[in-house]
Amino acid sequence: MKIVILDGYTINPGDLTWEGLEALGELTVYDRTPAEEVAERCSGAQLVLTNKAKVSGDTIKKLPDLKYIGELATGYDNIDIKEAAFRNIPVCNVPGYSTMSVAQLTWALILELVCKTSQRSGEVYDGAWVKSKDFCFGHAGLFELQGKKLGLIGLGQIGSAVAAIGQAFGMEIIANVRNPQKYTIPGVRFVSREECFREGDIVSLHSPLTDETRQMVNAALLSTMKPSAMLINTARGALINEKDLADALNNNRIAGAALDVLSSEPPVKDNPMFTAKNCIITPHIAWATIEARQRLLGESIENIKAFLNGKPRNVVNKI
């Protein structure tokens, strides 16, 4: 059984072990795979695992030995699941492995926007406190979260964890989901997407990237937000029209944004978010705690074992 990992470095930069996968077959791990080399590197493999490397329909057609595709993540928009299903190849992802890690960074970004800790620390190290006429400085813009509205777009495992933390801060939680009747979360009020953006003091995105949600955050939706409102994205960069968001920030139509994801990754150097005011950007690290990566690898191994036993689990395409 030949197993190929197309982009293993982000999952395991050296602090985890591949032993569990090596026990299942002949394992080849590539740190990174350029798009033009995906088909060649997968040739002859029965099992292919990918994190962000694209496994297109054309690639799948060139791989007659391929029996299984493992998504080393929760989102699977980098795989042509329809072509895989047509060829009776299950695509299996790993849901829920990073829930608390993503929720943790979401709140780190919110608190950084609200409390401005790194900005104030930088000012202190630049000598502003030494030169201050008063015992403290930097009051402007600080506010409490208690009593404010947290708007959530999506309320899956991550959104629910973010909501629970928001409730611990004493915030009112509003959420936009496709089927509100499926949720039984005390204290959450379900509203339309437009209401969520209009009412939210902080709006956080936790929805998957689909044709419907792609660039859903655009100039029209941003124009409905409060001037004091802030936008958080730890989901998918392409949920946002980045030029529209940059314009909203630079023209003070909203107060701030914090993004762990961008529309293309790595981003191009002239991405409009790099020149936007009051914007924090982190390099897609919300999922990447060592605990989350350990769970991801462990669950990926269990997915393969289930497939080999004839009972595949976490299948995202209908076979």
Q: Which of the residues are catalytic? A: 236, 265, 284
Q: Which amino acid is located at 230 in the chain?
A: M
Task: Determine the Cα–Cα distance for residues 51 and 29; give it in Å rounded to an integer.
Answer: 12
CA distance 219 to 199: 17
Q: What is the dihedral angle through the alpha carbons of 119, 123, 129, 135, rounded to the nearest 10 degrees?
A: -20
* 7 vs 107: CA distance, rounded Å: 29
310's CB contacts (< 8 A; 6+ apart) are none
Crossing angle (nearest 10°) for helices 99-115 and 117-125: 50
- 269-to-60, 216, 245, 265, 277 alpha-carbon distances in Å: 32, 23, 17, 11, 16
| Residue 256 CA neighbour count, 13 Å, CB half | 17
